[in-house]
Structure 1
């Protein structure tokens, strides 16, 4: 697989993990909902392979996930969400991880971003210490 493809798969995988976490379902439940095996879905979130268009359509129909956001990172996860706030959270998280030399799996990164974003939507300010604790639990 070309590096560019690997990067695309990793980006889509991270957004899949964020979406799934935001919806509040397990990987197994999402796999069942979109008619793929748990192993296949896990590989999509890990960025090991691309998710089929049929699965994306089922995800959109069942959970109203924005397919453009999943594929390209544009728009919002669901209508009414603050894309700029989520993008800011992801950027802050990635800067911290890169600066600290911390590697975590894409699905765990997505879960952290989703939790942070959900807290912000509820009007709760998340401290750096909380984010650092979440990262420690997620480390590889």
Structure 2
């Protein structure tokens, strides 16, 4: 049997999460697919928190797993940051892809077109201010070989 000392004080952060979300132990356990007893054991520090619980807290409530384990950073991750697109860059990429397709005998299939858009967008994001250079026809020819 493990003791609460074996698991640091992250069990207290599990309590913080539940209190922050204004949920009872029963409700959060149900939402996480756990029995009330198992969840209560995590809060008391009687059981080590499994990776599956870290993943469920992240997926259900955007709880930062690193914060949960260490206390560093913020409890809630701004998950939307990863999904925000720079519309101007995306528009430029789409124009460049349309130029490429206009020169082809056969249009790109959806999968290849999506991969090309992703590649060009990623390259533009990596280089920042000089993204227009990536979208020049001569540069695109090198990237798409």
**TM-score, normalisation: structure 1:** 0.50
Structure with greater contact order relative to length (CA < 8 Å, sep ≥ 6) = 1
Please give the alpha-carbon distance, in whole angstroms, between the structure 1 residues aligned to 2:65 and 2:6.
Answer: 14
What is the DSSP-based 3-state SS (H/G/I as helix, E as strand, rest coil) of the residue aligned with 2:56? helix
* Alignment correspondent of 1:29: 27
Aligned-pair CA distance for 1:49:
0.7
* Alignment correspondent of 1:60: 58
Counterpart of 2:37 (choices 36, 39, 50) is 39
Displaced runs of 4+ in structure 1, greater than 2 A? 5-10
Aligned-pair CA distance for 1:38:
0.4
| 8 Å Cα contact 2:4/2:44 also seen in 1 | no
Aligned residues: 78
> For the aligned residues, what is the CA RMSD?
1.9
1:1-140 matches, cutoff 5 A: 6-9=4-7, 11-79=9-77
Please give the alpha-carbon distance, in whole angstroms, between the structure 2 residues aligned to 1:50 and 1:76.
Answer: 21
* Alignment correspondent of 1:94: none
**TM-score, normalisation: structure 2:** 0.49
Q: Which runs of 5+ in 2 are unaligned?
A: 79-145
| 8 Å Cα contact 1:10/1:48 also seen in 2 | no
What is the DSSP-based 3-state SS (H/G/I as helix, E as strand, rest coil) of the residue aligned with 1:62? helix
- 1:7-37 Cα offsets, whole Å, 9 max, x none, are 2535111000001100111111111111111
Please give the alpha-carbon distance, in whole angstroms, between the structure 2 residues aligned to 1:35 and 1:57.
Answer: 12
Q: Which runs of 5+ in 1 are unaligned?
A: 81-140
Which of structures 1 and 2 has the bigger CA Rg? 2
| 8 Å Cα contact 2:42/2:49 also seen in 1 | yes
Please give the alpha-carbon distance, in whole angstroms, between the structure 2 residues aligned to 1:12 and 1:32.
Answer: 21
